[in-house]
Each structure stands twice: as structure tokens, then as C-alpha cells.
Amino acid sequence: MGLVRILLPLPRAAARLAPERGGPLLGAALSYCVTPTWAGLRSPSPGRRLAWAEEAVAVYRATADAEGLGRALALRAHALLLSGRYDEACAAVADAVAVPGAQASPVLAAFAGDVRAQALAGAGRTEEAVSVARACVEAYRGLSASERRERALGSLPGALRTYGMLLAAVGRTEESVAVYEECAALLAAMSLRELSHVELVRPRVLAELVGGLRASGRHQDALGVGPEAREALRGPVAWAVPEIVLPLRVRLLVDLARCHSATGAPVEARACAVEAVAEARKPHGAAELTPALDCLADVLGELGRTDKESITRRESAELRDT
């Protein structure tokens, strides 16, 4: 992807000089730049993704490539989702699956469904999003072996993660945990090559599974998943998208601390809580600092460290007041 971005001036020049041949080439290059890819590479900003997607849509509208236009519209919907423009993303999904003259693509339809589910949730229509996410999972399950290899436009693990997340959001915790466990098992059976296309799904699923197990009262099970979840939040993925990984890591450490407390291991709980606070003090973890401090204060209280507990609670209260 990085090389294609650098070389974009070439297909742009080709499209200007010879629109009939250069247009489809430019559209394909722009679509490639916008397509979700391996998390080990730094992703472009949502604004830049959206600009490329808009350009790709404009390019394909000037060609006879209906399939290319449908794909560009779906990628535009995804870029709008990443930009937080949820209502526009839902409208863009409808455009993507209704391109005149385009052959119905099961892969494109499944990807569009996943984008729509997330956009509906972002727009506050979570109950509606759950049914869309369930249909999206079934759509990915129904893909043929050859279609499943086209992982650039989403995947079954990604759709399962969306479904599990939405089930948790509407309070269906046990169902959410079951979906997360299915997804984790699916990821565990994947080859390294297959995992490279869903690199960001794995840490999210494992961290959110720990949270779901904790919410279900399955503290020992959560602690059992903990080491794998912590490992998944290290390495290239942490470097590539710290704004996603660091908050996940803080929430994971808080969940593990709470589980240790629930199972009568306050010393281990304190170690996790201290680490959570340290991670939350980093720029990308700031939003999670208050719950991390609350967790540490509770653990310090369990250990009888009332002086440090008081200091920690004071800092937490000051953060809430700012």
C-alpha cells in the first residue's frame, strides 16, 4: 500500500492523458490505498482515506466499470465510518449495493453489511445494528472458499467481532461471550498469512473477551485468556495504531485487576492496576486514566493502604472535575 500511495501521481497522469485506460488504473490504485489492510503498516488518517475514496468514486463514475464503482462506494462508506460520519456512512452503504449494472458480489455485500452495522451503532441505533451484524455474519459464513480468500473487504472474524461487541452493548453478555469465544477459536486456527489480514481483530477480540468473561462472573476464565490478550497487544500492532491499542491495553489490565481481586489475589490485582495507571498516563491512554485510578484505589483499599488509596481517589476526583 505504501508504494502505491507514493506512485499515485503516475496513474493520475495516465488518467489525465488517456482517460479510457488510465481512469480504471487510477480507480484501482485509489481503491487499493483505501482498502483496510494489515495493521503492521501505519494507516492513513480517516480524512486522507475519505479523500482517496471520494476521488475513486469520481473516477469510476466516469467509466463503465460498475463493479469498480460499487467497491469504491463501499470503501467510501468505510472511510465515512472511520471519520465518525455515521448517517452518511449508512447512506453510502445503500449506494454501494445498488449500483446499476453491477453484478451482485457476496463479498461486497457482506463487507457493506459490517460497515452498516458499525455505522448504525455509532448513530445510536444499536438494537437495529445487532440484527444487521447477525445477518452480516451469516453472509460471511455463506461465502465459498474462493470468495473467503478475498479478505481485503472484511472477514468472518471481523464480522464476529462486530456482532459480539454489539451484543455486549445491548446487555446480552452471555451471547456476546459465546460469539467472542467462537471468533477467538477461529483466529487461533488461522495461519500467519491469514492472520496478517485481520491483525487488528485479534487483540480487540481477546481484550473484549476478557471483559465479557469478567462481566459474566467467569473470573478464572478471564484470567486464563489474559496472557494471550496481553501478548496480542504488543509488537507491530501497538506501534502501528497506538490510539486503538493503548486504551484496549488499559481496559484489559483493569479487567484483569478486578478479576484478581474477585479471586482473592490482591497483590496480583495491585500489579495489574499499577500497570494500567502507568499505561493510561501515556497520551493515547488518557481517556482511560480515571477508571484505572478507581481500580487502583479499590485494590489499595483491599490491601489496607488507606493513605495511598486516599491520594489516588483524590486524583481521580480531580480528573472528573476538569
> For residue 159, is pLDDT > 80?
yes
Q: Tally Cβ neighbours within 10 Å of residue 278.
A: 13
Lowest-confidence region among 136-140, 154-158, 160-164, 174-178: 154-158
- pLDDT reading at 5 higher than 70: no
C-alpha cell at 137: 455474519
Per-residue confidence (pLDDT) for residue 191, from 0 to 100: 87
Strongest mean pLDDT among 38-47, 99-108, 154-163, 272-281: 272-281
pLDDT band at 11 (very low <50, low <70, confident <90, very high): low
Contacts of 219 (CB under 8 A, 6+ apart): 213, 259, 262, 263
Least confident range from 118-132, 165-179, 193-207, 274-288: namely 193-207
Average pLDDT score over residue span 116-137: 96
Q: How far apart are CA 204 and CA 33, in angstroms?
A: 23
Contact 317, 291 (CB under 8 A): no
Please state the φ and ψ torsions of residue 102, each to the nearest 5 degrees. Answer: -85, 140
pLDDT at 2 over 70: no
Closest CA to 199 of 211, 187, 212: 187
Answer whether residue 169 shows pLDDT above 60. Answer: yes
